[in-house]
């Protein structure tokens, strides 16, 4: 078999469908976010980033950078090993305590990413709890799906954000079957929010454990940044709350929080934790500083929501269709993969606006979109430029406008 010919044919198919992924080489400039430098074969130019998951700009915050410098000078670059073999640093311990406190739980456990924390935790639970059935929202993230698949536990899919459908499926199983209900609080592609209280009520009715992914909500919602569950006063009813350090907290890593027993169980049985080198101490220190800051400051969250509303108002004014939701995510609906990619390319090349196209398989076909994520640091001028640029290209593509 000519393996290279096979690879090239498959890649050519992605090009023809307009969903071949191209990396934009971006150099973030400390203190200038969301403005950055783009590197190309033809040189460098300034761009404004509109698709970052550094939702609050905390990756540029002085207290975070200072904490990372201090830890780097004190501890050096790497952790030096897995958590079990020489890799547990003081910063890891302090960060886990801070995360447990953030979510009102007994304990927390760090992972190298949010993907790994979902994959390792759900995979370990499903594989080790005899007869376990995992009930997964149909829109759950790939990391949750992969973890459930890896566990080889029985899996049932329930309709997105539909507690009645969840109740119907759970009712098919007796009280003796161990059950886990896995879902997210904020779904990143549509920006919609789960009816957490209703889902918890259904899960409690059937004696199910609950696993809540708050990746796109931690830092952003709740009086201390604990997420939607904190905002709604529901953290104590969730068995395991999972989150990330790589989005609103501005650094990298993932984690789970829950009872001391469940965190110790995952620590002791999850291969994705046991055999992974620990996060660098400087990363843990930066995350610790970010969480502590956002626990006590609502300035960033308030400004963030103000920017989101201003972007929505501009899009409404010029008739650019976007998916309505109550969160910080603004999905502009193009619904054509080729046009979506073209608009993204031209925005970047001609207008200095970086908006990544979101195509299949991340979203279903015919729902292709440009996912705008405003930050507290985007100015009125940035927003005006984004709106004007989008409006111009929308007309060039002969895409329909949305009448207010």
Measure the CA–CA gap between 9 and 1, rounded to whole angstroms. Answer: 13
Measure the CA–CA gap between 255 and 240, rounded to whole angstroms. Answer: 10
Dihedral over alpha carbons 78, 80, 82, 83 (to 10 degrees) = -80
- Partners of 330 in beta bridges: 372
Is residue 208 within 8 Å of residue 170, measured between CB atoms? yes
- Partners of 156 in beta bridges: 135
Among 105, 179, 247, 341, the active-site one is: 247
Residues with Cβ within 8 Å of residue 242, at least 6 apart in sequence:
114, 117, 118, 121, 211, 212, 213, 214, 215, 254, 255, 256, 257
Helix (H, G, I), strand (E, B) or coil at 41: coil
247 catalytic? Reply is yes
DSSP 275: T
Measure the CA–CA gap between 287 and 245, rounded to whole angstroms. Answer: 6
The verdict on whether omega for the bond into residue 243 sits within 30 degrees of 0, i.e. cis, is no
Token pair, residue 168, equals 């119907």
Measure the CA–CA gap between 21 and 333, rounded to whole angstroms. Answer: 18
Distances (CA, A) of 123 to 167, 273, 285: 23, 12, 28
How many alpha carbons lie under 13 Å from residue 290 in its C-beta half-sphere?
32
List, as one string, the DSSP characters of 318-334. Answer: HT--B---SSS-EEEE-
Active site residues: 247
């Amino acid at each position: 078999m000519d393996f290279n010919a096979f690879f090239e044919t498959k890649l050519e198919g992605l090009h023809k469908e307009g969903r071949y992924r191209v990396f934009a080489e971006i150099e973030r400039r400390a203190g200038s976010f969301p403005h950055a430098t783009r590197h190309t074969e033809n040189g460098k130019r300034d761009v404004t980033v509109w698709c970052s998951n550094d939702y609050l700009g905390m990756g540029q915050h002085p207290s975070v950078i200072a904490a990372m410098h201090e830890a780097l000078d004190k501890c050096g670059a790497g952790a030096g090993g897995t958590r079990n073999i020489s890799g547990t640093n003081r910063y890891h311990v302090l960060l886990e305590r801070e995360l447990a406190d953030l979510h009102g739980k007994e304990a927390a456990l760090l992972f190298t990413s949010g993907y790994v924390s979902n994959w390792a935790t759900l995979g370990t639970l499903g594989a080790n709890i005899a007869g376990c059935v995992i009930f997964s929202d149909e829109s759950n993230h790939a990391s949750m799906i992969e973890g459930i698949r890896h566990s080889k536990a029985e899996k049932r899919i329930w309709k997105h954000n539909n507690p009645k459908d969840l109740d119907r499926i759970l009712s098919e199983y007796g009280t003796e079957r161990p059950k886990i209900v896995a879902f997210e609080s904020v779904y990143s592609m549509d920006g919609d929010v789960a009816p957490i209280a209703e889902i918890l009520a259904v899960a409690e009715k059937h004696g199910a454990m609950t696993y809540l992914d708050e990746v796109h909500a931690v830092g952003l919602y709740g009086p201390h940044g604990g997420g939607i569950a904190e905002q709604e006063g529901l953290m104590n009813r969730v068995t395991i709350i999972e989150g990330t350090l790589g989005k609103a907290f501005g650094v990298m890593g993932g984690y789970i929080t829950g009872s001391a027993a469940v965190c110790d169980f995952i620590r002791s049985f999850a291969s994705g934790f046991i055999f992974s080198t620990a996060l660098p101490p400087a990363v843990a220190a930066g995350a610790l500083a970010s969480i502590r800051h956002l626990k006590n400051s609502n300035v960033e969250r308030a400004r963030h929501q103000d920017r989101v509303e201003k972007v929505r108002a501009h899009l409404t004014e010029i008739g650019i269709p976007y998916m309505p939701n109550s969160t910080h995510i603004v999905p502009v609906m193009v619904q054509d993969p080729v046009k979506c990619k073209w608009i993204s390319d031209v925005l970047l090349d001609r207008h200095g606006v970086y908006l990544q196209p979101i195509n299949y398989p991340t979203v279903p076909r015919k729902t292709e979109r440009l996912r705008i994520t405003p930050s507290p640091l985007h100015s009125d001028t940035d927003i005006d430029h984004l709106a004007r640029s989008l409006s111009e290209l929308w007309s060039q593509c002969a895409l329909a406008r949305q009448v207010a």
